Structure 1
Amino acid sequence: MITNLDVTLRDGGYRNNFEFPLDYAIRHAKESAAAGMEWIEIGYRNGSFKPMPDIGITGLGADDYIRAIADVVAPERLCMILHPKNITEDDLPRMYEAGIRLVRFCLPSGAPGPGLAMLSQAADLGFSTTVNITRVSQLPRRRLAELAAMSGDAGADVVYLADSNGSLLPHEVSELVTLVRSVTDAAIGLHAHNNLGLALSNAIAAVDAGATWIDSSVLGMGKGPGNLVTEQWVAYLARHGRGQGYDLGRILSLAHGMEAEFEEAVPSLPLPDLILGHFDLSVEERSKLPTHWIGDAFSAARELKAAGAR
C-alpha cells in the first residue's frame, strides 16, 4: 500500500513566494483529497529554513489558515511541515487544535536533538509524524543510518529521504531505502526533486525497494525545477495496477486549472538547475553561477563542487 502526499501548496510556494490565495488553497486541498491523495501538505509552519520577506499564507501556516481548510477538508487528511528552529512550545498544540493531524519535521543532520524532542511532543499530542532527512545525497551513509535509527527510536511513523538537490540516481535511491529499512521499523518515504528529470524513475525505484510514502506536486510545482509530478505518478500507478482509489481525471483537471491560474506553475527544467543536480549542489548555490552563458555556469558549478570536496 502506497501513501501519497501532495506537497504543492508548500513546495510549490518556492515558485510564487507562497502567495496562493486562500480561496485557491482551499479549492486545491479539497480537489486533491477528492482525487484520492491521502495527505495534503498545506504549507510551512512559521516559514522556511531561511527567512523570506513578505512570505505568503502557505509559508506561514497560521491557525486561521489551517482552520479555513479544515472546515472543508477532514483534518485526517491535512499535514504541515516545519523547521524545528522556527517553532515554539505553543505551536504544536495550536496546530492540532486548528486541524493538522500529520506534522513533518525537517531534521538538521548536525543537530537533530531539538527536532527529535519536538517529534516526541507531537506524538504525545496525537499527531502522526514524519522526519524528513534533507539533502540525503550529501550525507555519509553511516550518518544517514544514525539519523534514521534515532528518528525511529523517537517515534517517527515515517522516515523520509529528501533528495533536496535532485541528484540521486535510481540505483542510489534503492540502496538508501534498503539501508534505512535495515535500521528502523518506521515506514520509509521519498521526497524527490527533478533536477535530472529522474523524479519518476526514483519514485519507482524507492517503492520497488520498500518505500511506502511518496511526495509529489501537481505539475511538479516546487523548489528549483520542482518535484515528482503528481499526475505522472498517479498515471504510472494506474498502469502498474496500483492506482485504485485515485481519480487521475480529477488530478488532471486540477493541474489544468492550476496551470491557467499560476504562471509560476508551468513545468520547466532551467539549465542552471540541471547543472546543480549534476554536481549535487543545493539550490542556494544557484546565485553563485554566472547567468550570461551556460558554459560559464557549468564551469563555476564544477569549481564549487571541487572546492566542497577538498
Structure 2
Amino acid sequence: MSAVQIYDATLRDGQHAVRHQLGLAALRGYAVAADAAGIPVVEVGHGNGLGASTLQAGQAAVSDDLMLSTVREALRSSRMGVFMLPGWGTSGDLRRAIAHGADVIRIGVHCTESSLAERHLGFLRQEGAEAHCVLMMSHMATSAELAEHAARLVAYGAHAVGIMDSAGHFLPADVTERIGAIHDAVDVPVIFHGHNNLGMAVANSVAAAQAGSTIIDGCGRGFGAGAGNTQLEVLVPVLERTGFPTGIGLYALLDAAEFAERELMPAVPYTGSLSIVSGLAGVFSGFKHQVLDRSAQAGVDPRDVFFELGRRQAIAGQEDLIVDVVAELSVRAGVGVGVEAGSA
C-alpha cells in the first residue's frame, strides 16, 4: 500500500476551539513537538486562514506575520503549511506567507466554486510555490461534481487536491465514494480532511486512504471546533496497522499530543450533543461559539439554530446568517424546529 503523508492542522484548525487565541509560546512549543515526531507538514494560522483576523470571523491573539515567523523558526525538518480562503486572504497575504518560508500553501473553496481558486493558484504557480486546493463542505456536492471540480483545480495549477468534511457529516461509505471518484479523475495526490461530529473521523480517514488518498489531515488530541478534527495520535497508528506507513515516531507523536492537551486547549474535544446536531445538519463546526452566544442571548435552542442553518445550506464565511436565524427563531419562540423537522 502507498505511504500516507500526514498534514497537521493543529495550529490552524485548532484555533476555532479557542476563538483564535493561541499565543506565541503555545505555537512555538507545539511546532517543536510536531517537528520532533517527524510530522511532514505543520500548518499554522487563524482558523479561517490568512487575512481572516476580523471582527466577523474573530480576531486572533497574534498577527499572521508573527504566527508564521514563530513556527518557521521552530521547525527544523517539518515543512510549514498555511491556508487561505479567497475573500478573507489576498495575493498579498500569499506573497507574505511565501516570504516567511511557507512550504505548502492551501487554498480552500466551497465545493462547487472551484473557479474562485483559479486566480490564486495561478499566482502560486508563477511564484513556484507548492499549491494545494481543498473543496470545503464537500457533503453538499455529488461524487461526480467533486471529481469535476477537482480536475479543474489541477488544470489551474494545484499540485494536490481533495475534500474537507467541514461539517463532520460523512460516514466511511460516503468518503470511499467521493475520494475514489476524485482519485480516478486526477493525477495528483488526493487530500482528505475530517471532522469528528459523528465520531467517524478516524474511520473516515482510513476509508480515504483505502480509496486512494495519500495526504490526510489530523490534529493533536483532535484539537478543533465542536467535536474536533481527526485525532492525529490515533490516526497514525491505525493507518500503520492498516498498512499505510507514515514515517512518524509514535512516542514523539504521543508527546506532541500531550503538549497539545496541556498547553493548547481548555478541554479535549468530544462528540457532544451540539456537535452531533451540527454533523447531522451539515453545518460548519466553526459556527459553534457564535451559535451558542447568540442563542443564549435570545433564549432560543441552539440545536434549532443549527438545523435551520443546515436547511439554508450555510457555509463558512456566512456567519451573518446566524444572526438572522436566531432573530427569526426568537420571534416565533415556542414553535420549535427540533430533530424531527431538522431531519426531514
- Alignment TM-score, normalising by the size of structure 1: 0.88
CA distance in 2, matches of 1:102, 1:222: 21
2:232 to 220, 230, 233: 230
Superposed, 1:235-274 pairs within 5 Å as 235-243=237-245, 245-274=247-276
CA distance in 2, matches of 1:71, 1:158: 26
Which residue of 1 is the match for residue 180 of structure 2?
Answer: 178
Which residue of 2 is the match for residue 32 of structure 1?
Answer: 34
Q: Which amino acid aligns with 1:144?
A: L
Q: Secondary structure at the match of 1:211?
A: coil
Calculate percent identity across the aligned residue pairs: 26
Q: Is the 8 A contact 2:10 2:218 kept in 1?
A: yes
Give the drift of 1:97.
1.6
Q: Is the 8 A contact 1:119 1:129 kept in 2?
A: yes
Which residue of 1 is the match for residue 64 of structure 2?
Answer: 61
CA distance in 2, matches of 1:239, 1:140: 31
Q: Is the 8 A contact 2:189 2:213 kept in 1?
A: yes
- Between 1:281-290 and 1:26-35, the stretch displaced more is 281-290
Which residue of 1 is the match for residue 334 of structure 2?
Answer: none
- Alignment TM-score, normalising by the size of structure 2: 0.79
Q: Is the 8 A contact 2:224 2:269 kept in 1?
A: no
CA distance in 1, matches of 2:68, 2:148: 34
Q: Is the 8 A contact 1:32 1:251 kept in 2?
A: yes
Q: Which amino acid aligns with 1:47?
A: A
Q: Say if 2:8 is the partner of 1:3.
A: no
Which residue of 2 is the match for residue 17 of structure 1?
Answer: 19
Give the drift of 1:78.
0.3
CA distance in 1, matches of 2:97, 2:309: 40
CA distance in 1, matches of 2:286, 2:41: 28
Which residue of 2 is the match for residue 46 of structure 1?
Answer: 51
Give the drift of 1:231.
0.4
Which residue of 1 is the match for residue 97 of structure 2?
Answer: 95
Give the drift of 1:300.
6.5
Q: Is the 8 A contact 1:48 1:82 kept in 2?
A: no
Give the count of matched residue pairs: 304
CA distance in 1, matches of 2:262, 2:135: 34
Residues 1:206 and 1:110: Cα distance change in structure 2 (over 3 Å): closer
RMSD: 2.7
Unaligned runs of at least 5 residues, structure 1:
none
Q: Which amino acid aligns with 2:259?
A: G
Q: Is the 8 A contact 2:81 2:102 kept in 1?
A: yes
Q: Is the 8 A contact 1:49 1:83 kept in 2?
A: no
Give the drift of 1:137.
0.5
Which residue of 2 is the match for residue 106 of structure 1?
Answer: 108
Which residue of 2 is the match for residue 153 of structure 1?
Answer: 155
Q: Say if 2:282 is the partner of 1:280.
A: yes
Q: Secondary structure at the match of 1:86?
A: coil
Residues 1:305 and 1:67: Cα distance change in structure 2 (over 3 Å): closer
Q: Secondary structure at the match of 1:103?
A: strand
Q: Which amino acid aligns with 2:162?
A: Y
Give the drift of 1:239.
2.7
Give the drift of 1:163.
0.3
**CA offsets 1:130-176 (integer angstroms, 9 cap, x no match):** 11100000123443222111101111111121001101010110000
CA distance in 2, matches of 1:241, 1:95: 35
- Between 1:195-204 and 1:21-30, the stretch displaced more is 21-30
Q: Is the 8 A contact 1:75 1:99 kept in 2?
A: no
CA distance in 2, matches of 1:196, 1:56: 30
CA distance in 1, matches of 2:269, 2:52: 24
Q: Is the 8 A contact 2:225 2:286 kept in 1?
A: no
Unaligned runs of at least 5 residues, structure 2:
314-341
Q: Is the 8 A contact 1:15 1:223 kept in 2?
A: yes
Q: Which amino acid aligns with 2:57?
A: M
